[in-house]
Amino acid sequence: MPERLRLMVTLASWCALRFGETVELRRGDIDLSAEVIRVRRAAVRTKGAFSITTPKSDAGVRDVAIPPHIIPSIEVHLAKYVGGKRDSLVFSAFDNADAHLQPSTLYRHWYKARHAAGRDDLRWHDLRHSGAVLAAATGASLAELMARLGHSTPQAAMRPTAHRRPPRHPHTMARDAPCRNNIRSTKP
């Protein structure tokens, strides 16, 4: 990936941000001293133009903790590629700092990168799923996963983690069975 898009991959993976949330991030949404990204808006492309809206659900408006090990990458990206104003786009078009990054620009580079990695099957949204799995693997509770991902239902939060999680110890599986059964029986 070009250097100016690498942080986008990192945020999609480690912070589990959606594409529209990422391309609408502004300098003022990133609080490095609090180690948090404030997700308040998303960019949606319709009829060839971006419109700014709220995230997919009320739960999508959230604060996402930034893993400390990626803060240096964020600092470098902000210094090199982002204007000094609070409303400067974090990921702007290559030729216009005031315009949103076009999906076609991202995907042109993404397809090359995934091919070079031997992962032509990898979708951009899979990075978000990886972020969910990483959070779950560190012991995040279901409520914490829901908050981090901006999901309003337990089922939505568990979807990305259920089929990608490594095998678990039988003792852990037995301990968690009542919780899983309760979630499956809950209607949205």
Among residues 112, 100, 148, 113, the alpha carbon closest in space to that of 128 is found at 148
What pLDDT is stored for residue 162 in this prediction? 46
Tokens of 176: 């968690």
What pLDDT is stored for residue 134 in this prediction? 79
What pLDDT is stored for residue 37 in this prediction? 96
Q: Structurally, how many domains does the chain consist of? A: 1
Domain ranges, residue 128 = 1-188
What pLDDT is stored for residue 47 in this prediction? 85
Pairing of strands 36-39, 49-53: unpaired
Name, in order, each residue with C-beta under 8 angstroms of 152's C-beta and a sequence gap of 6 or more. Answer: 57, 58, 59, 146
* Higher local confidence (pLDDT), 8 or 50: 8
pLDDT, one tens digit per residue, over 39-97 is: 999 898 888 888 888 876 666 788 998 999 999 999 999 999 999 999 999 999 999 99
What pLDDT is stored for residue 158 in this prediction? 56
Q: Is the pLDDT confidence value at 187 over 60?
A: no
Q: Is the pLDDT confidence value at 32 over 80?
A: yes
Angle at 134 between CA 130 and CA 139, to 5 degrees: 145
Phi first, then psi, for residue 150 (nearest 5°) are 75, 35
pTM for the model: 0.75
CA atoms of 32 and 139, how far apart (whole Å): 24
What pLDDT is stored for residue 156 in this prediction? 54
pLDDT, one tens digit per residue, over 154-168 is: 565 555 544 444 445
CATH number, position 25: 1.10.443.10
CB atoms within 10 A of CB 48: 5
Which residue is associated with the tokens 């908050």? 147
Residue 46, CA distances (Å) to 54, 64, 138, 167 in order: 15, 27, 37, 41
Indicate the pLDDT class of residue 105, thresholds 50, 70 and 90.
Answer: very high
pLDDT, one tens digit per residue, over 107-151 is: 999 999 999 999 999 998 888 888 777 777 777 776 667 666 665
